[in-house]
A and B are shown apart, each in its own frame.
Chain A
Amino acid sequence: MIYRNSYFKKELRQAYTENRTGTNRKMAFALFQGLISFAIYFVLQTLKESVLSDVAPEIMQPSFFSTVYIYIHLAFIFNTVYFIIYYDYLFFSEIRKNSWYLLVQMGYSPASMIFSKFSALILSVFTIYLVGFIFTVFLTIFLKYPFILSYMPSLYISGLVDLTLITILLMTFSLYVKTITNARYLSLFSAVLIIVLKTALGHYNVISNRVSMQSINNLFDFGRSLYFPAAAAIMAACCIICVIRAGNVAKYYNLPARYYVLPEGATVANEDAATGKLKLAESMENVRHSKIFDTVSTALLIFLICAALIFNVLIILINISAPGKEFSIKGIIPYVFKSDTMAPTIMMNDLAYFKRTDSRHMFENGDIILFEENNVTYVERIIENMESGFKVDIDNYPPMSQPGAMLKTVPGKAVRGIYVGRSRWLGALILFANTIVGRLVFLLLPAILLFYQRQVANIYSRRK
Chain B
Amino acid sequence: MYKGYEQRDGGISVEKIVLMQNISSVEHFLQEGEVPRRVLEDISIIIKRSEIWGITGGSAFEIKLMLEIMANIRSYSSGRCVLIERGMPMHKRIILSHVFYIGGSEMIYDNMNVLEFLMLAAGKLNDNKLELQEQIFEFIIDMGLGKISLTANSMLTKEEKAVVILIAASYSDSAMIIFNLPEYEFHEELVNSIAKISKFIRKTGKTLIMGTCSSLMIERSCSHTTFIAGGKLIYNGTVKNLRLNFDKVAVIVRDKNLRGIMEKLAVLLPGHKLSIKDGRLLIESLTEKNKKTGYIYKKILETGFVPEYIETNSKTVQNAYEELVLQYDLQK
* Interface pair B124/A265, CB less than 8 Å apart: no
Q: Which residues of A contact B171 (CB under 8 A)?
A: 106
In the assembled complex, the Cα of A266 lies from the Cα of B108 at a distance in Å of: 31
Chain B residues, CB < 8 A from A108: 124
Interface segment out of the listed B115-123, B187-195, B266-274, B292-300: B115-123
B326 at the interface (CB under 8 A from A): no
B152 within 8 A of A: yes
Q: How close is A327's CB to chain B, nearest CB, in angstroms? A: 54
Are A3 and B183 CB-contacts (below 8 A) given A252-B95, A263-B61?
no
Task: Answer whether residue A320 sits at the interface, using C-beta atoms and an 8 A cutoff.
Answer: no
Residue picked from B27, B59, B129, B165, most chain A C-beta under 10 Å: B27
A101 in the interface, Cβ–Cβ < 8 Å? Answer: yes
Decide if A6 is an interface residue (CB 8 Å cutoff). Answer: yes
CB of B36 to closest CB in A, whole Å: 6
- Please tell me if the beta carbons of A261 and B112 are within 8 angstroms of each other in the complex: no
Q: Does B314 contact A (CB under 8 A)?
A: no
Residues of B contacting A10 with CB < 8 Å? 109, 111-112, 120
Instruction: Given A3-B129, A101-B107, A261-B61, answer yes or no on A253-B101 (Cβ-Cβ < 8 Å).
Output: yes
What A residues does B278 contact at CB under 8 A? none
Instruction: Known A97-B106, A98-B104, A268-B30; judge A5-B95 contact (CB<8 A).
Output: no
Question: In the bound complex, do residue B27 and residue A99 qualify as a contact, i.e. CB atoms below 8 Å apart?
Answer: no
B59-A253 in contact (CB<8A): no
Candidates B111, B123, B172, B174; contact of A6 at CB < 8 Å: B123
Minimal beta-carbon separation of A67 from chain B (angstroms): 34
Within 8 A of B (CB), among A157-178: none
Within 8 A of A (CB), among B107-156: 107-109, 111-113, 115-116, 119-125, 129-130, 133, 152, 154
Q: Does A253 lie within 8 Å of B73, measured CB to CB?
A: yes
- Of A3, A107, A251, A278, chain B has the most CB atoms within 10 Å of the CB of A3
The CA of A259 and the CA of B74, in the complex, are separated in Å by 12
CB distance from B100 to the nearest CB of A (A): 5
* Chain B residues, CB < 8 A from A104: 95
A105 and B106 form a contact (CB under 8 A): no
- Let me know if B120 and A251 touch, CB within 8 A: no
| A261 in complex: contacting residue of B29, B31, B64, CB < 8 Å | B64
- In whole angstroms, how far apart are the Cα atoms of A371 and B169 in the complex? 85
Are A106 and B125 within 8 A (Cβ)?
A: yes
- B64 and A17 within 8 A (CB): no
Residue of B nearest to A102 (CB): B107
Contact A13 B133 (CB under 8 A): no
Is B94 an interface position by the 8 A CB rule? yes
| B93 and A253 contact, CB distance less than 8 A | yes
Check B259 for interface membership: any CB of A closer than 8 A: no
Render A254-284 as a binary contact track against B, CB cut-off 8 A, 1 for contact: 1110011111011111110100001011000
List the A side residues contacting B152 at CB < 8 Å: 17
Complex contact B28–A105 (CB within 8 A): no
A103 at the interface (CB under 8 A from B): yes
Give chain B residues whose Cβ lies under 8 Å from the Cβ of A13: 111
In the complex, chain A residues whose CB is within 8 Å of the CB of B39: 268
Given known pairs A5-B116, A255-B93, A261-B64, the reply for A269 and B36 (CB within 8 Å) is yes
Q: Are A102 and B165 in contact (CB under 8 A)?
A: yes
The answer to whether residues A3 and B93 also contact, given A263-B59, A267-B30, A269-B27 and a CB cut-off of 8 A, is no
Is A15 at the interface (CB under 8 A from chain B)? yes
Chain A interface mostly helix, strand, loop or mixed?
loop
A263 and B58 alpha carbons, distance in the complex (Å): 10
Q: Which of B30, B94, B120 contacts A252 (CB 8 A)?
A: B94
B111 touches A16 (CB 8 A): yes
- Distance of B183 from chain A, by nearest CB (Å): 4
Number of interface residues of A (CB under 8 A): 47
Q: Write out the residue numbers on chain B whose beta carbons fall within 8 Å of the beta carbon of A98.
A: 103-104, 106-107
Residues of B contacting A16 with CB < 8 Å? 111
Contact B29 A103 (CB under 8 A): no
User: Which residues of chain A in 1-48 are interfacial with respect to chain B, using CB atoms and an 8 Å cutoff?
Assistant: 2-7, 10, 13-17
Whether A254 and B168, one on each chain, are in contact in the complex, defined by CB atoms closer than 8 angstroms, is no
How distant is the Cα of A32 from the Cα of B27 in the complex, in angstroms? Answer: 54
Of all chain A residues, which has the CB nearest B92? A252
In the complex, which residues 98-131 of chain A have their Cβ closer than 8 Å to any Cβ of chain B?
Answer: 98-99, 101-108
Q: Is A82 an interface residue (CB 8 A)?
A: no
Near A by CB (< 8 A), chain B positions 86-102 give 93-95, 97, 100-101
Q: Is the CB of B73 within 8 A of A255?
A: yes
Known interface pairs A2-B133, A253-B93, A266-B29; A107-B116 also in contact (CB < 8 Å): no
Residue among A99, A251, A256, A260 making CB contact with B108, cutoff 8 Å: A99
How close is A19's CB to chain B, nearest CB, in angstroms? 10
Partner of A105, one of B27, B109, B172: B172
Contact between B100 and A266, CB atoms less than 8 A apart: no
Using known A-B contacts A252-B95, A266-B29, determine if residue A261 contacts B111 with beta carbons closer than 8 Å: no
| Of B28, B115, B120, B174, the contact of A269 (CB 8 Å cutoff) | B28
Contacts of A97 in B (CB 8 A): 104, 106-107
| CB-CB nearest in chain B for A281 | B27
The answer to whether B109 touches A269 (Cβ under 8 A) is no
| CB of B60 closer than 8 Å to a CB of A | yes
Q: Quote the shortest CB–CB distance from B160 to chain A (angstroms).
A: 16
- Closest residue of chain B to A260, judged by CB? B183
- The answer to whether B14 has its CB under 8 Å from any CB of chain A is no
The complex places the Cα of A263 from the Cα of B39 at a distance, in Å, of 11
Q: Name the A residues within 8 Å of B31 (CB-CB).
A: 263, 265-267
How far, in Å, is B283 (CB) from chain A's closest CB? Answer: 35
Is A293 an interface residue when CB atoms closer than 8 A count as contact? no
Cross-chain pairs A/B with CB under 8 angstroms, 17 sampled: A2-B130, A17-B112, A99-B107, A102-B108, A105-B97, A253-B73, A253-B94, A255-B68, A261-B183, A263-B59, A263-B61, A265-B31, A266-B31, A267-B31, A268-B30, A269-B27, A273-B26
What are the 7 A-B residue pairs with the smallest beta carbon separation, nearest first?
A107-B124, A261-B60, A3-B119, A97-B106, A98-B107, A252-B93, A261-B183
